[in-house]
DNA sequence: GTAATTCACATACGAGGCGTATGTCAAGAG
DNA sequence: CTCTTGACATACGCCTCGTATGTGAATTAC
């Protein structure tokens, strides 16, 4: 049982470091986040960091993975609450846009993440958000609601549109009205994928 | 006239530094680019750098501004060569995607730029690329070809879609076939903006 | 039961890199 | 001819990262 105790203590320290990193990376950005400060903030030193993670990048990997999972979960919920698959796709887009309003997500997942870790499409967890969107599109094609487009291409461009919309909204002086415009435009664009121009229920 | 000589010499050094920075930032990334190496590569020192620019960020600003201008010019040409305004919009999208295949543009404009300088929509030169897209959309609305959508919203989402398409293509193992898929998907999405589902010539 | 090993960190060290303060030399001003 | 200005170069200090080494507790071996 003593071994279990040590294992959980280590897991707690890992969690502490990740939590501290989320804060530090979100508020100061990856480059300006000091590992000394970050670790000291949770009563540890850089020694713990380099023992639990590969390096500074490794810590960012862990943070990104955690946030990515949370985002995917929220997307899944948004889609499941929609009354139809097509509205589910639109709901995913809206949810994605709204998520990107979170400074943490914006900074870590949309700015520093890609810059430091490279293209998100090659992240492990295989970009859970994209996977979800693709699954929805694939189902819509099978139902004959969406044109037989390339699923990955459509998913990526749709997510890309949502992403830029999110950044726009986040940087706007008047986020509320801009959010409405962004969501509307997203619907119009998405409707280009429809087999019939008229949107289904 | 001696004053002119000094002025041009300074301009040349500025240009040298910017050129060196484009190379260094593109190949090593902003964070890993050493100012000592960068300046030494053109026979100068960091002294010249901090005299001509505010700091490392300032140099990146200058580089970004230069590349942004070049990109806008290429977009303009792509649109002007198209036989119609609508096809011009699609041509812009394709050109944007193809440009992002350039590692320099990808790294500096799409990855490090946003991470270090913040949201591109607030860059000076006011994001020339977006301006061009918006102008085209506005004209298409006036001609009754495109739905009366919010111009900025449509422009941003369209550019965002092109951007993510570009990143996808750039990171692909087989860029050629992926490029086709991406351009196709872009057209489908864009057609969502059309008043009539049938695409005009 | 004790000696040895492993583990999960802490501490210490070295190597850059950035920004700034200071020095320098040529060019114009007066 | 002196003085100032400008365009750099040189020198310095501070910070940060990664690694090498130390350490005490926990586990294992005997």
User: What average pLDDT does range A129-149 have in this prediction?
Assistant: 94
Q: Given an 8 Å threshold on Cβ–Cβ distance, is B164 in contact with A165?
A: no
Residues A3 and A31 reside in one and the same domain:
yes
CATH of the domain at B13: 1.10.10
- Mean pLDDT over each residue of chain B, to the nearest integer: 91
- Note the pLDDT of residue A22: 98
Q: Which residues of A71-94 are buried (b: 16+ CB within 10 A; e: fewer)?
A: bbebbbebbeebeebbbbbbbbbb
Last residue of a domain, one of B10, B26, B53: B53
Indicate the pLDDT class of residue B6, thresholds 50, 70 and 90.
Answer: low
B114 located within any domain = yes
Residues in chain A: 201
| Backbone phi, psi, residue A117, to 5° | -100, -5
Q: Per the structure block, which two tokens stand in for B155? A: 């422009």
State whether residue B101 sits within 8 Å of chain A by CB.
no
DSSP per-residue letters across B79-143: HHTSSSHHHHHHHHHHHHHHHTTSHHIIIIIIIIHHHHH--GGGSGGG-HHHHHHHHHHHHHHHT
- Note the pLDDT of residue A42: 96
- Note the pLDDT of residue B77: 96
The angle subtended at Cα B180 by Cα B178 and Cα B185, nearest 5°, is 95
Q: Which of A157, A180, A188, A191 is the mutation pick for testing B, counting most B CBs within 10 A? A: A157
A58 located within any domain = no
pLDDT for residue B10 is more than 90: no
Is B171 within 8 Å of A121 (Cβ atoms)? Answer: yes
pLDDT for residue B152 is more than 90: yes
Long-range contacts at B81-87 (CB < 8 A, ≥ 24 apart): B83/B201, B84/B200, B84/B201, B85/B136, B85/B139, B85/B140, B85/B143, B85/B145, B86/B140, B86/B145, B86/B146, B86/B194, B86/B199, B86/B200, B86/B201, B87/B201
Residues A176 and A103: their CA atoms lie apart, in Å, by 16
Residues B13 and B82 reside in one and the same domain:
no
Last residue of a domain, one of A10, A29, A53: A53
pLDDT for residue B179 is more than 80: yes
The residue assigned the tokens 């946003």 is B114
Number of domains in chain B: 2
Q: Nearest to residue A53, comparing CAs of A10, A2, A97?
A: A10
- Write out the residue range of the structural domain in which residue B8 sits: 1-53
A94 located within any domain = yes
- Note the pLDDT of residue B197: 76
CATH of the domain at B191: 1.10.357.10
**Among chain B residues, CA nearest to A153:** B182
Residues A7 and A85 reside in one and the same domain:
no
Residues B32 and B73 reside in one and the same domain:
no
Rounded to whole angstroms, what are the CA distances from A82 to A51, A94, A128, A145, B25? 44, 12, 19, 16, 45
Q: From the Cβ of A11, is strand C under 7 Å away?
A: no
C-alpha torsion B153→B159→B164→B169, nearest 10: 160
Residues 6 or more apart whose CB falls under 8 angstroms from that of A2 comprise none
Count of CB atoms situated within 10 Å of the CB of B74: 16
Q: Tell how far CA B4 is from the center of its chain.
A: 33
With H, G, I as helix, E, B as strand and everything else as coil, classify residue B195. Answer: coil
Instruction: Give the residue with greater pLDDT, B138 vs A164.
Output: B138
B88 located within any domain = yes
- Note the pLDDT of residue B122: 82
Q: Given an 8 Å threshold on Cβ–Cβ distance, is A152 in contact with B197?
A: no
Last residue of a domain, one of A53, A77, A96: A53
**B158 contacts in A (CB within 8 Å)?**
161, 189
Residues B2 and B41 reside in one and the same domain:
yes
Q: From the Cβ of B36, is strand C under 7 Å away?
A: yes
- Note the pLDDT of residue A1: 42
B84 located within any domain = yes
Q: From the Cβ of A48, is strand C under 7 Å away?
A: yes
Residues A22 and A108 reside in one and the same domain:
no
Residues 6 or more apart whose CB falls under 8 angstroms from that of A182 comprise A97, A165, A166, A168, A169, B153, B156, B157
Residues A127 and A186 reside in one and the same domain:
yes
Q: Nearest to residue A187, comparing CAs of A161, A151, A149, A156?
A: A161
Strand partners, A194: A146
Q: From the Cβ of B56, is strand C under 7 Å away?
A: yes
- Note the pLDDT of residue A2: 44
Q: Which of B126, B169, B189, B196 is the mutation pick for testing A, counting most A CBs within 10 A? A: B189
Q: Given an 8 Å threshold on Cβ–Cβ distance, is B165 in contact with A153?
A: yes
The string of pLDDT tens digits covering residues B40-89 is: 999 999 999 999 999 999 999 999 999 999 999 999 999 999 999 999 99
Q: Per the structure block, which two tokens stand in for B50? A: 């901090």
Residues A31 and A70 reside in one and the same domain:
no
Residues A34 and A79 reside in one and the same domain:
no
pLDDT for residue B1 is more than 60: no
Residues B7 and B97 reside in one and the same domain:
no
Tell me what percent of the residues of chain A surpass a pLDDT of 70.
94
The answer for B80, left when phi > 0, alpha when psi is -120 to 50, beta otherwise, is alpha
B77 located within any domain = yes
Residues B68 and B49 reside in one and the same domain:
no
- Note the pLDDT of residue B130: 87
pLDDT for residue B9 is more than 90: no
Residues A35 and A81 reside in one and the same domain:
no
Residues 6 or more apart whose CB falls under 8 angstroms from that of B7 comprise none
């Amino acid at each position: 049982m003593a071994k279990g105790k040590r294992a959980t203590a280590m897991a707690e320290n890992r969690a502490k470091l990740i939590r501290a990193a989320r804060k530090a990376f979100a508020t100061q950005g990856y480059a300006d986040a000091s590992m000394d400060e970050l670790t000291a903030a949770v009563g540890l030193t850089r020694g713990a960091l380099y023992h639990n993670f590969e390096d500074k990048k490794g810590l960012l990997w862990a943070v990104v993975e955690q946030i990515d999972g949370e985002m995917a979960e929220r997307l899944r919920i948004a889609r499941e609450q929609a009354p139809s698959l097509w509205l589910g796709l639109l709901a995913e887009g809206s949810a994605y846009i709204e998520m990107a309003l979170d400074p943490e997500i914006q900074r870590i997942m949309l700015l520093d993440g890609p810059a430091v870790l490279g293209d998100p499409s090659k992240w492990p967890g295989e970009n859970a958000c994209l996977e979800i969107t693709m699954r929805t599109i694939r189902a819509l094609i099978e139902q004959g609601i969406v044109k037989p487009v390339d699923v990955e291409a459509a998913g990526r461009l749709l997510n890309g549109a949502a992403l830029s919309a999110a950044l726009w909204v986040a940087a706007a002086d008047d986020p509320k009205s801009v959010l409405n415009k962004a969501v509307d435009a997203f619907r119009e664009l998405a409707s280009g994928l429809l087999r019939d121009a008229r949107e289904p229920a």
